[in-house]
Structure 1
Amino acid sequence: MRLKRISMAVAATAAASLALTACSPGGSQDKKKDDKGGDSQTVGDAKQFEGSGRFELSDVETQNKEIKITVGSVEYGGYNGLTPDTYSTYTSAVAGTYMPGFWYYGTDGKIYQNKDMGSYKLISEDPMKVEYTIHEDAVWSDGTPITVADAISAWGTQTTLSSPDAEKDDDGNAAPLFNNVSNDLVDMVPDGPQGDPKGKKFTVTFKEPNPDWELQTWLSFPAHVIAKNGDLSTEEYIKALQDQDGKKLEKAAEFWNKGWNRGAGKLPKEEDNVSGGPYILDSWQQGESVTVKANPKYWGEKPGVEKLTFRFIDDSAMVQGLKNKDVQVIAPQTTPDIADQLKGLEGSNEAKLYSGNQLTWEHLDFNFRKGNVMEDLDIRKAFAMCVPRQEIVDKLVKPINPDATVLNAREIFSDDENYEGVISESYNGEYDDVDVEGAKKLLKDKGKEGATVRIGYAAPNPRRSQQVQLIKNSCEKAGFKIEDVSAKDFFDPGGTLDTGKYEVALFAWAGSGQKTSGWNIYHSKGAQNYGKFKNADVDAAFDKMKKATADDAHLEAVKEAEKALWDNLYGIPIFQHPGMRAADPKI
């Protein structure tokens, strides 16, 4: 699974599809007149491709309208959403409007080539070699052509390369020069994109077969902007990346890490605010909203509306916001109360509802930093014994999805045909039922009665607040002292997750089908291994997963990884998210 923090923005994008990327829910669509009575063609009149969710908009003019969307209350992270601090589905929902890419997920969950961007094809399996062609008309919003140089830049910034002057930790490792959430593409494709940097065609050759070859990021940010801010010509910048010259890249990397992201409410400088997608950043009001506007230089299919505004609204206030017309699309983290409110709006024809299980799952992750009580496996076991997973599902999820079950895996969802087989070989059911007495005994044996467990999550979040209360009710009977340390800045630099001032983190990962992204979370070298977990068996299993192109080999690696994660209690999966999102019926 390609995994991202938090849950519902992908669902929101689907609900907001008429506006965002001219996508709509899968299946055929009837033609409709403009609801206001006009004869002008709307997005709803456009032809939809089966499954992909894309509309043919070549003959449709961008409407001079604004659609307001909310995917949650979390602040937008900034133009560069590919750092560990900003990489979230909330930020990705916005960044997806201005970042270029060769592929996208359809509403059917399948991968489709983005013909606006170009094309690609696998031309050799041994060695694995892929050919990419960038659309001849593709340009950045400042008019600079999108070329192979941009692909080399995207590749070269996904590296563990460090500055020769960087400080090293106790193991002799230095922080990567580019603070990229993904830092292994240079290792996977040592020679990088091969082609004229000023041209439109390139090939890449993988060192080893890669099951996720199609999902790699070969375009992200404008190379010429990074080069300029690094006091380099584009040619010098590309050469330094190809040579992996850490010293020469220091200033460019500093800009990549921090130059676009200047703080909440601050857009990049005008000359650096460059888009390769259908929209471009327009305004950002800290704590309120971020707006994107149509990119006049975009060469592909026209965006549906002139402006999209992503408002930061608490889940508990979203339904009222939709009712008041403050927003036209909402994607709340659904509680039974919110579900009832949404059904009420649907009943009064004030909203269209979209519902179903999301490719998102809730989990509790431990903090393994030195000195934290959760360093001790027995304490982790005691906590797992008292977490009332079934009660959480029964009280908070089943009222929305009566068929909901407790989730017992991380790399596979419960509706997958291989789920039961994976579970049978990786998990023995020891945490299915609450065992207060067993947890109490482990704490007593370790002399840790009364151990404080701070559970952190991004606030406000009604459902997570309720989960923590249910955990508190159960685990305090076992001898733990449970503290809710939720915070609005939980995921921010300097926030709870970053500083490690917690024992357990409560959040969700959103999966998107990438087979190897778990490496980035569970491997000791993973950029999203926030709790500093380190285990040789887990590392070995995910290393194997990265190389397993055959389905059966990948499945065996998943079983090994799941068993190692359960045996060492990296964390505790809880449930797959039920999803309800809603839209104004007039969009």
Structure 2
Amino acid sequence: MKYTKLSAAAALAAGSALILSACAPGGGDADNTASSGNGGASGSASQGGEAGAPEVTEGDKGQKLTAPVDGPGMADLGDIQPQDDTIAYSVGADDFVSYNGVQSNTYTTYNSAVVDRMFSSFWYFGTDGSVQRNEDFGTYEKVSDEPLQVKYTIAEDAKWSDGTPVTAADYILQWAVENDTVKAEGAEAPLFDSISFEQGKYITEAPEGDPAGKEFTVTYAEPYADWEILIGSTLPAHIVAEKAGMTIEELAEAAANKDVEALTPAAEFWNDGWDFNPGELPDLADVPSTGPYMFKEGGWQAGQSITLTANPEYFGTPAATKELVLRFADPKTHVQALQNGDLDVIEPQATVDTLQQLEGLGDSVNIQTGDQMTWEHIDYSHVEGSVFADSPELREAFALCVPRQQIVDNLIKPIYPEAQVMNLREVFPFQDDYQEVVDAAYPSELDQPNLERAKELVEQSGVSNPTVRLGYQAGNPRRTETVALIKSSCDQAGFNIQDANSPVFFTEVLPAGDVDAALFAWAGSGQKASGKNIYHTTGAQNQVKYSNPEVDAAFEALATSLDEDEQKEQTKIIEKLLWEDFQAIPLYAHPGVVGHNADVANVRDSAAQSGALWNVEQWVRVQQ
């Protein structure tokens, strides 16, 4: 399974957190070896555009565009209708699993690639990770700072594909779903299996508004830095009500009152009712869409692909292409599939070999490269039994021997010459405040390895020839090379570096704490306090059991501040403390590579975790 950084960029804007990236789009890492994904979908990914296809112009980075692009948001395509055509894409080899993609066992980038097409939101992330408002769906405004209060107005014509209006009831249910105080008496787990409970934490009372109406207001118990992205879209409350044997009014009332007994049948359906066996979609009436695409009847071929079709009831700008095929294809096959016409757009792992293969396809393919909000790092394990758990000397020694600049020079710069060593966790090198935070928080003596000092620290630790099990997901050539470079350097400092890659690294090894250090990436977007879920002592994604009360307090201060200057100061404090503890070793922001058939227009890579898929509804084949 591939994990992503838990982010409000998920289908239901699940709150501030991050996603483990084993194989993320836009420069993610190929670590799966499943089916080739060469068949099973209706239509042909390589068919030509029809007569009258839109004309194109050249944009930045050689992008082909059917409408001018002004900034990081969606282009205005004007009055269009879906072109009777099919475009194919693959995020990786894992099959689709659930219409409810925000449960603990379904929130992956594979699943999100499908469901994100079917849920509209009040906002989306633009190409630079900035928050962009989606007024086709609705509007929102902050009406008060003390207390923080936000009013939402759903567009009058916003509706589910079955014709049911989107109303406040959908958001009242979603608030209960994301509230871990909604639990049975004596139960350890909340009633609803959700990946985020941020809404319930910061918004302690249910949204106020007529459940049948289009307006609702939320009041925060305390300020929240990422308030603008906490509420986005929802699953259909009217379907949950129907399956639970309730009216929508009864469901909304039970949700608002946190009535566990009344909500139990609703939670049972919410948790399990939308999970499917491969290839077996339920009655399409149970899985409506508010997005530009919806499931196509009979369009799911297990282990091969799933086909979405344009939503005829969509209230925004229609999808530019009638059918979208999402293939379940091993990333190692993507370049060949692009050449064969089985895929139209790919985001392979950014390696020198991959880039050369794409360049070898000539004018038939357009290539885009750029910065990504996915970053590679090595986390020290603080789990009992780890060589680093109780040894600050060994953590510092390891940081002093990891050849970060050499890793970037050898493995990343040949793909993206502007790449640089990343010295922070919460701010990216291409963001405006990066250097200011680096100057305040980063120990510059780590710029280059210092093997002599590392040797001294190893000796001071009292551990002779310490073994470091450096773990990562198997099947990743770039990480294998990274570990080899680290071993070549750190063994000279007295360590014994072991390549501890595993095919079950994320599902078994890391949760069990069976490594001393973990090499992986977080894939995310432009949130302000997303790292709290990783670095806070009680963070749900703190797999390495790191704990520092000062970091906890700084993240609380950051998350509850609406002042941008204060947010920056707390970020400096957090970064400095994390470096002092040697919590992790940042390496680099991933370079993104997108390749697409030259006759497909409006493909625009994004730095955010959604990658190129962020505007897939605008992709269209054009005549060359």
Aligned CA distance change for structure 1 residues 233 and 133 (closer, same or farther; 3 Å): same
- Confirm or deny that 1:404 pairs with 2:404: no
Q: 1:354·1:582 contact (CA, 8 Å) conserved in 2?
A: yes
Q: 2:380·2:517 contact (CA, 8 Å) conserved in 1?
A: yes
Aligned CA distance change for structure 1 residues 177 and 112 (closer, same or farther; 3 Å): same
Q: Which residue number in structure 2 is paired with residue 152 of structure 1?
A: 172
Pairwise mapping of residues 26-41 of structure 1 onto structure 2 (< 5 A)? 38-41=51-54
Aligned CA distance change for structure 1 residues 218 and 48 (closer, same or farther; 3 Å): same
Pairwise mapping of residues 542-557 of structure 1 onto structure 2 (< 5 A)? 542-557=555-570
- 1:565 aligns with one of 572, 578, 583: 578
Can you list the C-alpha shifts for 1:497-529, whole angstroms capped at 9, x where unaligned? 444443333222233211121222222232322
User: Which 10-residue stretch deviates more, 390-399 or 252-261?
Assistant: 252-261
Q: Which residue number in structure 2 is paired with residue 6 of structure 1?
A: 21
Whole-angstrom distance in 2 between the partners of 1:502 and 1:226: 42
Q: 1:287·1:312 contact (CA, 8 Å) conserved in 2?
A: yes
Can you list the C-alpha shifts for 1:256-300, whole angstroms capped at 9, x where unaligned? 334323455554664532322111234444544333222233222
Pairwise mapping of residues 107-506 of structure 1 onto structure 2 (< 5 A)? 107=127, 109-161=129-181, 163-166=183-186, 174-262=188-276, 267=281, 270-282=284-296, 283-345=299-361, 348-378=362-392, 379-436=394-451, 438-439=453-454, 442=457, 445-447=461-463, 449-457=465-473, 459-477=474-492, 478-487=494-503, 490-491=505-506, 494-506=507-519
Q: 1:72·1:331 contact (CA, 8 Å) conserved in 2?
A: no
Whole-angstrom distance in 1 between the partners of 2:309 and 2:505: 29
Aligned CA distance change for structure 1 residues 262 and 533 (closer, same or farther; 3 Å): farther
Q: Which residue number in structure 1 is paired with residue 112 of structure 2?
A: 92
User: Which 10-residue stretch deviates more, 322-331 or 179-188?
Assistant: 179-188
Aligned CA distance change for structure 1 residues 183 and 96 (closer, same or farther; 3 Å): same
Give the secondary-structure state (helix, strand or coil) at the position aligned to 1:104.
strand
Whole-angstrom distance in 2 between the partners of 1:230 and 1:382: 58
Q: Which residue number in structure 2 is paired with residue 21 of structure 1?
A: none
How much does 1:537 deviate? Answer: 1.3
Whole-angstrom distance in 1 between the partners of 2:358 and 2:480: 21
Q: Which residue number in structure 1 is paired with residue 33 of structure 2?
A: none
Aligned CA distance change for structure 1 residues 61 and 241 (closer, same or farther; 3 Å): same
How much does 1:585 deviate? Answer: 0.6
- Confirm or deny that 1:512 pairs with 2:548: no
User: Which 10-residue stretch deviates more, 269-278 or 401-410?
Assistant: 269-278
Give the aligned residue type for 1:536. P
Aligned CA distance change for structure 1 residues 389 and 247 (closer, same or farther; 3 Å): farther
Give the aligned residue type for 1:428. P
Whole-angstrom distance in 1 between the partners of 2:27 and 2:450: 38
Give the secondary-structure state (helix, strand or coil) at the position aligned to 1:349.
helix
Give the secondary-structure state (helix, strand or coil) at the position aligned to 1:249.
helix
How much does 1:541 deviate? Answer: 1.0
How much does 1:201 deviate? Answer: 1.0
Give the secondary-structure state (helix, strand or coil) at the position aligned to 1:59.
coil
Give the secondary-structure state (helix, strand or coil) at the position aligned to 1:281.
strand
Give the secondary-structure state (helix, strand or coil) at the position aligned to 2:90.
strand
How much does 1:532 deviate? Answer: 3.2
Whole-angstrom distance in 2 between the partners of 1:495 and 1:311: 27
Q: Which residue number in structure 1 is paired with residue 598 of structure 2?
A: 585
**Structure 1: segments with no counterpart, 5+ residues:** 14-33, 168-173
Give the secondary-structure state (helix, strand or coil) at the position aligned to 1:520.
helix
Q: 2:535·2:542 contact (CA, 8 Å) conserved in 1?
A: yes
Give the aligned residue type for 1:259. G
Whole-angstrom distance in 1 between the partners of 2:301 and 2:135: 34
Aligned CA distance change for structure 1 residues 260 and 374 (closer, same or farther; 3 Å): farther
What RMSD over aligned residues (CA atoms) do the two structures have, in Å? 3.1
Give the aligned residue type for 2:119. M
Can you list the C-alpha shifts for 1:81-107, whole angstroms capped at 9, x where unaligned? 223444344433332201221112233
Can you list the C-alpha shifts for 1:369-403, whole angstroms capped at 9, x where unaligned? 34444422434334333322122111101111223
Aligned CA distance change for structure 1 residues 263 and 536 (closer, same or farther; 3 Å): farther
Q: 2:26·2:349 contact (CA, 8 Å) conserved in 1?
A: no
Whole-angstrom distance in 2 between the partners of 1:246 and 1:573: 43
User: Which 10-residue stretch deviates more, 473-482 or 2-11?
Assistant: 2-11
Aligned CA distance change for structure 1 residues 509 and 115 (closer, same or farther; 3 Å): same
How much does 1:470 deviate? Answer: 2.2
Can you list the C-alpha shifts for 1:296-317, whole angstroms capped at 9, x where unaligned? 3322221122221222334443
- 1:104 aligns with one of 114, 118, 124: 124
Whole-angstrom distance in 1 between the partners of 2:283 and 2:542: 32
Aligned CA distance change for structure 1 residues 316 and 430 (closer, same or farther; 3 Å): farther
Whole-angstrom distance in 2 between the partners of 1:502 and 1:264: 33
Give the aligned residue type for 2:226. D
Give the aligned residue type for 2:345. V
Can you list the C-alpha shifts for 1:558-586, whole angstroms capped at 9, x where unaligned? 01111222222332211011122111011
Give the aligned residue type for 2:541. Q
Can you list the C-alpha shifts for 1:394-414, whole angstroms capped at 9, x where unaligned? 110111122322111011112
Aligned CA distance change for structure 1 residues 308 and 486 (closer, same or farther; 3 Å): farther
TM-score of the superposed pair, with normalisation by structure 2: 0.81
Q: Which residue number in structure 2 is paired with residue 29 of structure 1?
A: none
Whole-angstrom distance in 2 between the partners of 1:101 and 1:426: 36
- Tell me the number of residue pairs that the alignment of Structure 1 and Structure 2 aligns: 555
- Confirm or deny that 1:521 pairs with 2:541: no
How much does 1:36 deviate? Answer: 5.4
Aligned CA distance change for structure 1 residues 313 and 419 (closer, same or farther; 3 Å): same
Q: 1:153·1:223 contact (CA, 8 Å) conserved in 2?
A: yes
Whole-angstrom distance in 2 between the partners of 1:186 and 1:285: 38
Aligned CA distance change for structure 1 residues 507 and 271 (closer, same or farther; 3 Å): farther
Aligned CA distance change for structure 1 residues 430 and 231 (closer, same or farther; 3 Å): farther
Q: Which residue number in structure 2 is paired with residue 26 of structure 1?
A: none
Aligned CA distance change for structure 1 residues 546 and 482 (closer, same or farther; 3 Å): same
Give the aligned residue type for 1:234. I
- 1:536 aligns with one of 549, 570, 582: 549
